[in-house]
């Protein structure tokens, strides 16, 4: 599967899940854990990728460095 297709499908599924959650579905503990676990796996996978790639590329792309983001909150943590 191509990178573009994976990113597109991920975005579509996140939008669908967001809309579904806005309707306040009844979720039992298993459903809640399922959602939490999948979000955590995605966050950990991205953090691993980011730690391997962003440090290597920050001088080439003008990526914000850690000292520029100190005190900034992660929007995913809210």
Query: Per the domain annotation, does 14 fall within a domain?
Result: yes
Distance CA 73, CA 66 (A): 12
Instruction: Compute the C-alpha angle 31/48/41, nearest 5°.
Output: 5
Q: What pLDDT score was predicted for residue 54?
A: 85
Q: Exposed, middle or buried, 63 (CB in 10 Å: 0-12/13-18/19+)? A: middle
pLDDT digits (tens, 9 = 90+) for 55-70: 766 655 555 555 544 5
- The total number of structural domains that make up the chain: 1
* pLDDT tens profile 17-58: 999 999 999 999 999 999 999 999 999 999 999 999 987 666
Residue 33 lies in a domain: yes
Contact criterion met (CB below 8 Å) for 63 and 57 = yes
Q: Is residue 64 part of a domain?
A: no
pTM over 0.75? The answer is no
Q: 36 lies in a domain?
A: yes
User: Quick check: is 69 in a domain?
Assistant: no
Range of the domain at 30: 3-56
Q: Which residues contact 27 (CB under 8 A, 6 or more apart)?
A: 35
């Amino acid at each position: 599967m191509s990178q573009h297709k994976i990113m597109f499908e991920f975005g579509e599924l996140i939008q669908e899940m967001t809309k579904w959650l806005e309707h306040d579905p009844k979720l039992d503990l298993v459903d809640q854990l399922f959602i939490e676990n999948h979000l955590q796996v995605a966050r950990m996978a991205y953090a691993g990728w980011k730690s391997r790639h962003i440090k290597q590329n920050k001088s080439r792309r003008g990526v914000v460095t850690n000292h520029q983001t100190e005190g900034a909150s992660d929007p995913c943590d809210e």
